[in-house]
Amino acid sequence: MNLFRRWSSSIWRVLINPTPKTFLAISDDVDGIFGESVFLFSVFTTISFIVVVSKGYFERSFFLDLIGAILLFLLFILLFNYFINYINDRIFHNQSVFQERLYFSIFVIILISIILDNLLLIFLPNLVFLGYASTLYTVFLFIICIKSITNLSYWQTIITLFLSSVLSAISLIIVGFFFSRLIYLIPYWFDYF
C-alpha cells in the first residue's frame, strides 16, 4: 500500500503544482526505487496497451506486442536518462545530477503522460488537438523536471531534452533493427543442432 500511496501522491502533486520545488520534493526519498519504477511502469504500459488494443489499433499477436512495447519503453527511458546525464556531464560540465532522482521524476512524468493519453483515447477519441496539448504538457513537465534536478538554465535544459530524445530514439532504432535481425535468424540456428 505504501508503494501505491507514494506514487499516487507524487503523480497528484506534479499534476496540481508542476514547479521545480515539486520535482525536488517528490524525488527526495528515492533510494532503491528503480525496481518499483520498472514494475509500475510495466503495469501502466500493460493497461495502456490493453486500451489501445481494445480500440482496434493492433490486430496481431497481443502478447508479443505487449512484451515488445514494455521492453522498448523501458529501454527508451533508460537511454533517455543516460543521455541526459551524459550531456549534462560532458557538454555542460555539470555534475549535480542524481541518477535515481532523475529516474523517479521521469517515470512519474511518463506515467502522467500515459494516464492522460489513455483518458483522452477512451473519452475523447475524436479531439486530436487534445493529444497535441497532452504532448506539449509532457514536454513542459520534462523541461521543469530536468531544470530543477540538474540546475541547468532553460536553454541548456531544452538542448539537453532535444539531444537526449534524438540520441535515444536513434539508439532505439539501431537496437530494434539489431534484435529484429537476430529474431529473424533464430529459426536457422536450430538447423545446425
Grid cell at residue 144: 521543469
Cβ–Cβ under 8 Å, residues 183 and 132 = no
Cβ–Cβ under 8 Å, residues 152 and 92 = yes
For residues 145 and 139, what is the distance between their CA atoms, to the nearest angstrom? Answer: 10
For residues 101 and 149, what is the distance between their CA atoms, to the nearest angstrom? Answer: 7
Per residue in 1-55, pLDDT tens? Answer: 576 677 777 778 887 888 888 887 777 766 666 666 667 777 777 777 676 666 6
Please give the C-alpha separations between residue 61 and each of 27, 55, 65, 68, in angstroms, as whole numbers: 38, 15, 6, 11
Please give the C-alpha separations between residue 110 and each of 18, 89, 90, 105, 157, in angstroms, as whole numbers: 14, 23, 25, 9, 18
CA angle, 177 as apex, 175 and 179 as ends, to 5°?
Answer: 70
Cβ–Cβ under 8 Å, residues 89 and 18 = no
Q: What tens-digit pLDDT sequence spans the chain (193 residues)?
A: 576 677 777 778 887 888 888 887 777 766 666 666 667 777 777 777 676 666 665 555 666 666 677 777 778 888 888 888 888 888 887 766 567 777 777 877 877 887 777 777 767 777 777 778 888 888 888 888 888 888 888 898 899 889 998 999 898 888 878 777 766 666 555 555 5
